[in-house]
Structure 1
Amino acid sequence: MIDKETSKEIINEVKALTTEVYKDTASPALQEVGSVAGRTVKALLSPLRGMLWGWERIEGYVEESVKKRLDKIPEDKRKSPEPEIAVPLLQALTYTAHNETLREMYINLLANSMNADKENIVHPSFVELIKQMNSLDAKVFDELSKTNHYQKILNPKIMLKGQGKFFSNATPEWYVGWTIEGFSEFDVSASFVRLSKFGLIELMFDRTAGKDGYAEIRNTQFLLAILTKYQLADTNSELEIGGTESIVYVNEYGLQFKNACK
């Protein structure tokens, strides 16, 4: 244990050191550097001001939005949401409310947690799932979850015909024949991987649900354009679109997530 006199000495030394540090930071050179850095950081962070909603703004928006949904539910079915769902959800809304896609998922999840008929499909982990998503993930998941069946997906390659060799990174790892407006097929492929890691979908490599449909994916304009690009760059080789035929589907956990957030 430090005795009283030693303690006083330490405090005095700290005060003296603090004074010297203050003098140094007050020097013109450091003031200028700090000023420049401050303006730069402030400029970079300034757009976030409008995105951070205070509780007053959140409360009004949530009340109005949830009311529209609860008005369709009989009064005897309405209930208070569980705090392990509502509290982290409302906290997340303070910094994601500007994102319409994610905002709607949160509001739907909250409203469903207040419906006695749906409380069993609402799980606290769903809040964390939305927090990990961006708009693309939400839109890709929405597109995939429009059907409950296996969907054909290709792991395409630009290949040297008859040689078993291919060009790496020429095509997306996973390709279903469509993309999301404003995003590339490579973006969508990465989203498939994320959704799989979230546990919402299953990407089953080299598993098929019948052979029909894969030819249409191979012959999309997107893949044919890539093939043409490589053919023009290597006129001495015979190239083709190959790859592995696979399947993707929304699993049971994903379907429950979908129903809880719609």
Structure 2
Amino acid sequence: MIDPESSKEIISEAKAITPEIYKDIAKPAAQEVGSVAGRTVKALLSPIRGMLWGWEQIEKMIEEGVQKRLENIPEKNRKSPEPEIAVPAIEALRYTAQNETLREMYLNLLGNSMDDRKKNMVHPSFVELIKQMNSLDAKVFDKVAQGGSNYQKILNPRIAIKGQGKFFSNALPEWYAGWKIENYSESDVSASFIRLSKFGLIELMYDRTAGKDGYDQIRNSPFLQNTLNLWKSMHQNQELELGGTESIFYVNEYGRQFKSACK
């Protein structure tokens, strides 16, 4: 490998020969400079390489993690996991083992797949669902799943111009349930709601309600009120108000089964 300084010397000497010969001689040197600069990309990707664990590296982690779960399964109910569940789950752990939230979901899924009492509950598609999730999705789903199959209140808030039927687009998250996840914004959580709906785990029901109680609490949340006040300060010549549509969501049967299989 030629270092950058050597490359400069080669190019300088080549210039002293002839312009025509310089073009041919400088080309390999320039390629070497490019490959040296490429080390920056390699350096940036090197942490990812370290996350692509082999079986030997994750075997101990899997054994210890699953063993804890097997302790809660009677000996007579223990079985080898189905390969269509275990193989892709273990493969996925090669690059998600460093993510505690997703790692625990995979290990729970593996442990439950080794319990013949839960053979009808653990489905191969659950591995693919976890693959599509990030930590936020897992945390949002865990929170909403605590409500079981009950309808939960959610608002589609808008900052509107009073009496004109107009509102500012993108001023507020599309879906807001009155809470957020630590280190993530309300808009991040809203996007996660939409993803979980597309995954088929929850049902977002726009303009559907299950009683009126609870919506005022969401409207009066500090986040919505502070955002409204901010927009009022930016548009003092207009009378703004907080509007929106009252909606509901719930964890469907597939989502409840996924929760049971991954907890």
With normalisation by structure 2, the TM-score equals 0.89
Indicate yes or no: 2:137 matched with 1:114.
no
Following TM superposition, where does structure 1 have runs of at least 4 consecutive aligned residues deviating by more than 2 angstroms? 23-26
Distance in 1 between residues matched to 2:26 and 2:227, nearest whole Å: 57
2:252 is matched with: 251
State the match for 1:82 in structure 2: 82
Amino acid at match of 1:94: R
The amino acid of 2:163's aligned partner reads G
TM-superposed deviation, 1:225: 0.8
Q: What's 1:42 paired with?
A: 42
| Structure 1 gap segments, 5+ residues each | 1-22
Letter in 2 for 1:133: M
Aligned partner of 2:91 in structure 1 is 91
Secondary structure of the residue aligned to 2:129 is: helix
CA deviation after TM superposition for structure 1 residue 47, in Å: 1.4
Q: Would the aligned equivalents of 1:25 and 1:31 in 2 still touch at CA under 8 Å?
A: no
> What is the CA distance between 1:121 and its match in structure 2?
0.3
> What one-letter code is carried by the residue in structure 2 that aligns with 1:69?
R
CA positional deviation for 1:44: 1.2
Q: Which amino acid aligns with 1:151?
A: Q
What is the rounded CA distance, in whole Å, between the counterparts of 2:244 and 2:155 in structure 1? 7
- Match of 1:173? 174
Matching of residue 164 in structure 1 with residue 165 in structure 2: yes
RMSD across aligned C-alpha pairs, in angstroms?
1.3
The equivalent of 2:131 in structure 1 is 131
After the TM superposition, which of the residue ranges 47-56 and 127-136 deviates more from structure 2?
Answer: 47-56
Counterparts of residues 222-241 of structure 1 (less than 5 Å): 222-241=223-242
Is 2:207 the partner of 1:206?
yes
- The 3-state SS of whatever aligns with 1:156 is strand
Q: Any idea what SS the aligned residue of 2:108 has?
A: helix
Distance across 2 between alignment mates of 1:199 and 1:24: 60
* CA distance in 2: counterparts of 1:58 and 1:43, whole angstroms: 24
Is the 1:79–1:114 contact (alpha carbons within 8 Å) kept by the matching residues of 2?
Answer: yes
Partners of 1:178 and 1:185 within 8 A in 2: yes
SS of structure 2 residue aligned to 1:117: helix
Cα distance in 2, alignment partners of residues 112 and 72 from structure 1: 10
Query: Percent of aligned positions with the same letter in both sequences?
Result: 69
How many aligned residue pairs are there? 239
Residue identity matched to 2:45 = L
Q: How far does the alpha carbon of each residue in 1:101-154 deviate from its partner, in whole angstroms, 9 at most, with x for none?
A: 000000000000000111110000000000000000000000000012100000
Distance in 2, Cα, partners of 1:123 & 1:156: 36
Separation in 1, partners of 2:262, 2:142 = 10
CA shift for structure 1 position 52: 1.8
Structure 2: gaps (5+ residues): 1-23
CA distance in 1, matches of 2:71, 2:34: 57
Q: Which residue of 1 aligns with 2:19?
A: none
- SS of 2:176's equivalent? coil
> Where does residue 11 of structure 1 map in the other structure?
none
Equivalent residues of 1:145, 1:255 under 8 A apart: yes
Once residues 47 and 132 of structure 1 are traced to their aligned partners in structure 2, the CA distance between those partners, rounded to angstroms, is: 21
1:160-194 Cα offsets, whole Å, 9 max, x none, are: 11211100000000000000000000000000000
Instruction: Output the CA distance in 1 between the equivalents of 2:26 and 2:68.
Output: 55
Whole-angstrom distance in 2 between the partners of 1:24 and 1:42: 27
Deviation at 1:24, TM superposition (A): 8.2
One-letter identity of the residue aligned with 2:126: F
Instruction: Give the SS at the match of 2:120.
Output: helix
The alpha-carbon deviation at position 26 of structure 1 amounts to 7.5
Q: Measure the CA separation in 2 of the matches of 1:246 and 1:160.
A: 21
TM-score, normalized by length of structure 1? 0.89
Cross-structure match for 1:69:
69
